[in-house]
Structure 1
Amino acid sequence: MLLRLPTSVTEAQECMADGAVPVGGATLVWATWQRDGFPDRAVSLRHVPEATVVRPGTLGGAVVLNRIDDRVPEVLRRAAGSIGTGAVRRTATVGGNLVGSSLRCLLPAALVLDADATVLGPDGVYGTDLNEVLAKRHLLLALHWRTPAASGYHKESAEAGGPPPLVVATAVHAGADGLRLRVAVRDGYEVLSETAPCDEGADQVLGALERTDVAALPARAREVVRRQVAGVL
């Protein structure tokens, strides 16, 4: 396998045009390649500046998880810090987790930040939303968001190799129409996201959420949502 390491978006696009397979930290695909065979060409964005940036409001797709620090909101930092072992976090990337993983541990945090994305497609770089990134498995260059007023994150403990643990992410955003809380829940492999006004406190939010798909969650998950909403507010 020939691993290409472009240093610009233009070079990365040329690699993709040559049929190179995008690879993040290879923490998820390596075992599959060992079993099914390695591709002829692969491409990593680890040397592309647009994909390795870490700053308020932007996080590159090739950033390894252990580089995510207090330059990003608490919800995203804690989500990254809860993934795998230290060895995994030194190798796994943001794009690999969001696009290449069925667990998508960073997805609830990205959803409550109301993040959008910059991706690299056959025709160049363009912006899109997370739904399209996940559905079409785009090559992620970076995530972008508005910094929330507050955020929180909860991930239940789980045994390795077992079902995905429950995750509840929350963030409060200030806008022209007042404060709104966004909540995202991963229950099993499914992730749902809802939003509610929160100018009047936790009771207002929880009442609004009970009229959404959150109300269909198991009782244990709804209780965690209640605690996280009260905590972030």
Structure 2
Amino acid sequence: MLLRLPESVSEAQECIAEGAVPVGGATLVWAGWQRDGFPAQAMSLRNVPEANVIGRGTLGGAVVLNRIDDRVPEVLRQAAANVGTGAVRRTATVGGNIVGSTLRCLLPAALVLGARATVLERDSVFETDLAELLAKQHLLLSLHWRDPVVSSYRKLAADAGGPPPLVVAAALHSDTDGADRLHVAVRDGYDVLSDSVPCAAGTDETIDRLGDTTVGTLHATAWAIVRQHIGELLARPRGR
């Protein structure tokens, strides 16, 4: 197998046009390739600058998870820090986790940030939402978002080899009119539910509003965890 390492978007598009298979950190595809056979060509975006950016409101798809630091909001930073083992985080990439993984550990965090995706195709680069990114399995070049007022993340403990643990991500955003809006995403098993509500005068009323959304359809145990998490978030000092 020839691994190609383009150094620009145009070079990456040439690789795609010539049949190279995009690969992130190869943590998810390697076993399958060993079983089913390796492609003739693979391509990594690790040398493409646009895919390696880490900054205020942006994160490249080729960034490995252990590089994600306090330049991004807490919810995304904690999501990355809780993926697998240290060895996995040193090789797994943002794009591989969100697009290539069935667990998609970073997806709830990206959803509550209202992130949009810049994607790469053989003849174009364009922006789309996360729903289209996942549905069409686009090659992720980078994520972009508007920083929240405050955010938080929780991943429950789970037994190795068991079902995926419950994940709760939340972020408080200030709308253009100055009103606050709460965004919540929950991974329950392999399903991810997300919604948002305007913040009420009191925490209980805000949580009650959330209960009327799709997030409120969670089973009782998960909903109790979400309620606690949101209560703690709304009581925190404002920051990222």
So what's the TM-score if we normalise by structure 1? 0.98
| Cα pair 2:197 2:206 within 8 Å, conserved | yes
Please say if 1:58 is aligned against 2:58. Answer: yes
Matched, 1:99 2:103: no
Extract unaligned runs of 5+ from structure 1. none
Quote the residue 2:232 is aligned against: 231
2:197 matches 1:163: no
Query: Aligned letter for 2:71?
Result: R
Q: What is aligned with 2:223?
A: 222
Q: CA deviation at 1:199?
A: 4.2
Give 5+ residue unaligned stretches, structure 2.
235-240
2:142 aligned partner? 142
Query: What residue is the counterpart of 2:76 in the other structure?
Result: 76
Q: CA deviation at 1:201?
A: 3.0
Shift of 1:83: 0.2
* Separation in 2, partners of 1:176, 1:137: 32
SS at match of 1:63: coil
Q: Is the 8 A contact 1:197 1:204 kept in 2?
A: no
Range moving further from structure 2, 12-21 or 207-216: 207-216
Aligned equivalents of 2:91, 2:122: Cα separation in 1 = 27
> Separation in 1 of the partners of 2:16 and 2:7?
14
Output the amino acid matched with 2:212: R
8 Å CA contact 1:119–1:126 kept in 2: the answer is yes
Aligned to 1:187: 188
Any idea what the Cα deviations from partners look like across 1:117-142, whole Å, max 9, x if unmatched?
10001221111110110000000000
User: Is it true that 1:197 corresponds to 2:190 in the alignment?
Assistant: no
Q: Give the SS at the match of 1:215.
A: helix
RMSD value, Cα: 0.8
| Equivalences, count | 233
Q: Using the TM superposition, name which of 213-222 and 197-206 deviates more.
A: 197-206
Contact 2:185 2:215 in 1 (8 A): no
Matched to 1:231, the amino acid is E
Alignment deviations for residues 54-91 of structure 1 (CA, whole Å, 9 cap, x no partner): 00100000000000000000000000000000000000
Structure 1 ranges of 4+ moved more than 4 A: none
Q: Which amino acid aligns with 1:205?
A: T
Amino acid at match of 2:19: G
The one-letter code matched in structure 2 to 1:23 is: V
Report the Cα distance in structure 2 between the residues aligned to 1:171 and 1:145, rounded to whole angstroms: 12
Residue aligned with 1:160, SS: coil
**Aligned-residue identity in percent:** 68
Q: Tell me how far apart the structure 2 counterparts of residues 160 and 9 of structure 1 sit (CA, whole Å).
A: 39
Q: Which moved more, 1:211-220 or 1:175-184?
A: 211-220
1:61, 1:216 → 2: CA distance?
32
Q: Is the 8 A contact 1:117 1:127 kept in 2?
A: yes
| C-alpha distance after superposition, 1:147-177 (max 9, x if no partner) | 0000010100112221110000000000134
